[in-house]
Amino acid sequence: MNQKIIAKAEAAIAKRAVGWNENSGYCTVTTIDENGYPSSSTITASKADGIRRLVFGSTLNSDIVNRIKKCNRACVCINSDEYYVSLVGTTEILTDPQAKQDAWYDRLKEYYSGADAPDFCALRFTTERYNLYFIDGELKTRASCQVVDSCAKHDTLLSCLARYDSKNHEGVKHEKRGCRKSRGDCCEKGERWE
């Protein structure tokens, strides 16, 4: 069941991550401002790798980029009447040509001369934990994770998932998934955990 919930979340994110067209929508990205308060921005995701990573395009001197420069922690929320997806993690500001090209979609032509515009940048969000909630008729399912870690060598998502079935009033079940290796056992010297 947990894999089904994650698959639903990935599909919901993918619908939002196709650029700005009538089939896509916005994400809400919340960051911490210079006074330590949460501040939210609506933004379209350019690209997604399931629930693990999202890429956004932005302006180098925008409010969201200035907040990320001071504190890279963020929360990305996507919701509708049928679901709520909340991803918590960190965001990197990228200005290399490949990252900017990955963040580019056609509708951005209204704001920039192209992916190589000097004021255009990519924001790469990496999920560290999540909360997923779906309503299928009367059945409500939820999956949450306190710690998500990704092993670059084994390309797995480490997580602890919980499920609640409101129709049958089941309790919470936990299930561990992913790479069983410890950080030290898994990654060879010089490899980076992402």
DSSP string for residues in 32-89: E-TTS-EEEEEE-EEEEETTTEEEEEEETTSHHHHHHHH--EEEEEEE-SSEEEEEEE
Range of 10's domain?
Answer: 2-132
Token pair listed for 94: 């990228």
Looking at the domain assignment, is residue 39 inside a domain? yes
Looking at the domain assignment, is residue 172 inside a domain? no
pLDDT in tens, 140-169: 777 776 544 444 444 444 444 444 444 444
Looking at the domain assignment, is residue 25 inside a domain? yes
pLDDT in tens, 170-190: 444 444 444 444 433 333 333
Classified as helix, coil or strand, 108 is helix
**Could you give the number of structural domains in the chain?**
1
- Predicted confidence at residue 146, as pLDDT, reads 52
Q: What is the DSSP letter of 109?
A: G
pTM above 0.85, yes or no: no
Q: What is the CATH number of the domain that holds 75?
A: 2.30.110.10
What are the distances in angstroms from CA 39 to CA 17, 33, 67? 22, 6, 9
Among candidate residues 181, 174, 126, 180, the one with its CA nearest the CA of residue 148 = 126
